[in-house]
Amino acid sequence: MVKLKICGMKVPTNIAEAVALQPDYLGFIFHPASKRFVADLDAELVTEIPATIKTTGVFVNAELDTVKNAIKKYQLKAVQLHGNESPDYCRALKGMAEVIKAFGIDDTFDFSLLEDYADAVDYFLFDTQTPEHGGSGKTFNWQLLDNYILQKPYFLSGGIGLDHIADLLLIDDERFYAVDVNSRFEILPGLKDIAQLTQFKKSLSC
């Protein structure tokens, strides 16, 4: 069964509601330019999340020590890298947390670029190509994944909402590991609609 990652959490009461849904991954954005930046979120709120939920820090071209310090402070189970991080950068984090390397996909994307990352990461994440490094609310053409020939499992992201359930259930790819949702389930940036997420999670597991 495909796993669920809810990303862009930052409001304490909303985090608690999302935790109650028991997603597989819960994402916190550590990129200061993001509208969903966690800023001064109390680390204890994150460290007390049950271990069955993999807390995930999202970074964009951050200093390596910044990521390592966040892993320790928030006891992150995974890191999601949305910038131009190199394979060596990714390798430096392996063993500290799961490493998810995100790539923005459009018609010009060269999937051969992923080959150098194959042994450096645990998962890829395929998102819609945007200048803002995700959170656009827009999907990309999933048929482009026909060009992906590696065996590394991946997260599918980019503008996924309730209206995509039927299409998600039709994906027949054993590498399709998890679906990542964010902006299409928001009331405000960083504040999620729990009722919609509940419906999505239930439908995804049908």
Residue 27 structural domain: 3-204
- Note whether 201 and 4 are within 8 A (CB): yes
Q: Give which of 191, 172, 170, 171 is closest to 182, Cα–Cα.
A: 191
- Note whether 49 and 57 are within 8 A (CB): no
Whether 127 is catalytic is yes
Statement: the pTM of the whole predicted model exceeds 0.85:
yes
If one counts the domains in the chain, the total is 1
At residue 196, φ and ψ (nearest 5 deg) are -65, -40
Rg value, the chain, Cα? 16
Whether 65 is catalytic is no
Query: 170 exposed, middle or buried (CB, 10 Å; 0-12, 13-18, 19+)?
Result: exposed
- Note whether 90 and 99 are within 8 A (CB): yes
pLDDT tens digits in sequence order for the chain, 206 residues long? 899 999 999 999 999 999 999 999 999 999 999 999 999 899 999 999 999 999 999 999 999 999 999 999 999 999 999 999 999 999 999 999 999 999 999 999 999 999 999 999 999 999 987 765 445 567 888 999 999 999 999 999 999 999 999 999 999 999 999 999 999 999 999 999 999 999 999 999 87
CATH for 179: 3.20.20.70
Instruction: Indicate which residue of 24, 127, 163, 167 is catalytic.
Output: 127
| pLDDT at residue number 137 | 60
Kindly report the length of the chain: 206
Instruction: Indicate which residue of 7, 24, 90, 180 is catalytic.
Output: 7
